[in-house]
Homo-oligomer: A and B are copies of this chain.
Amino acid sequence: MKPRVAGSFTVPCAKCPLIANPAFRKFTPEELRFVQSFKSGETIAEPGTVFLHEGQSSEYLYTVLQGWGFKSKALPDDRRQIVAFLLPGDFVGLQGPVFDEMQHSVEALTRLKLCMFPRSRLWELFSNHPGLGYDVAWLSARTESIADEHLLAVGQRSASERIAYLIVHLFDRCKGLQMTKGSAFSVPANQQHFADALGLSLVHTNKTLRRLQGRGLIRWSPGAIEILNDRGLRDLAGHPAPDTRQRPLI
């Protein structure tokens, strides 16, 4: 599936809604100019579309502009592991330049709007704009840290702790992006996605979710989650406070 370039609808970087978002640090004028020239277009992925395939190479790097997605890896049979959820500002595809082929697939959960950058010019970014190069490394280290946290959850936590962790994790990320409404936020993932992310079966995920709801910690409705007892949920999750500092954007 070739990414379709929505050239005519491209937003100029200066007006990028993400730059306006206080979660991200601001570009210098030179950086902005470069990023604008680096950006070769935008693309849209409809919900359910797999737009990067494990094992294939990708000509582009992407920044999520809008919407939710996830990265996953599959086993030879039909088991799959969701290794990360993608939210606005997330940078995808770095593994392309490193290994020649993608090590994971990326699928859209909602309609996903993405900025495209030709990987052939990544070197230019490092060489002409070391600040941006540093940012790329920064983002990569952040992703790695999230993956480690996820690994801790899947390897050591019980089912209810895992679910509590994932909810808190997603909530905190959404909150940083101002995508929450009070203690509720929209989560365009279903219970199967939660199960695949946490290494649980669908049935057990459902039962655990209901039990958390029974304990008055959360309310799950298809498409949205509300946190009813923040303190209790975080205690159960055993999750550290989120990092609220500004982060870079490419």
B-contacting residues of A (Cβ < 8 Å)? Answer: 71, 73, 75-76, 79-81, 83-84, 94-95, 97-99, 103-104, 122-123, 126-128, 130-131, 133-134, 136-138, 140-145, 147-152, 154-157, 197-199, 238, 243
Contact = CB atoms under 8 A, between A and B. Distances in A.
Across the A-B interface, give the 3 residue pairs with the lowest CB-CB distance, nearest first.
A155-B199, A140-B140, A127-B130
A148 B76 contact: no
A122 B141 CA distance: 14
Contact of A157 (B75, B84, B198): B75
B73 A103 contact: no
A149 B73 contact: yes
Nearest to A129: B130
Most B CB within 10 A of own CB, among A75, A145, A155, A238: A155
A98 to B, nearest CB: 4
Contacts of A199: 154-156
Contacts of A84: 148
Contact of A150 (B71, B138, B143, B151): B151
A138 to B, nearest CB: 5
B151 A154 contact: yes
Contact of A148 (B83, B137, B152): B83
Contacts of A130: 123, 126-128, 130, 133
Contacts of A143: 144
Contact of A134 (B73, B99, B123, B150): B123
A81 B156 CA distance: 7
A144 to B, nearest CB: 4
A134 B126 contact: yes
A186 B219 CA distance: 50
Contact of A156 (B80, B94, B104, B133): B80
B152 A75 contact: yes
A22 B158 CA distance: 43
Contacts of A126: 126, 130-131, 133-134, 137
B148 A198 contact: no
Given A71-B148, A83-B151, A126-B130, 13 more contacts: A73-B148, A75-B156, A75-B157, A75-B238, A79-B157, A98-B141, A99-B243, A126-B137, A137-B137, A140-B141, A154-B154, A155-B198, A156-B199
A81 B155 contact: yes
A58 to B, nearest CB: 13
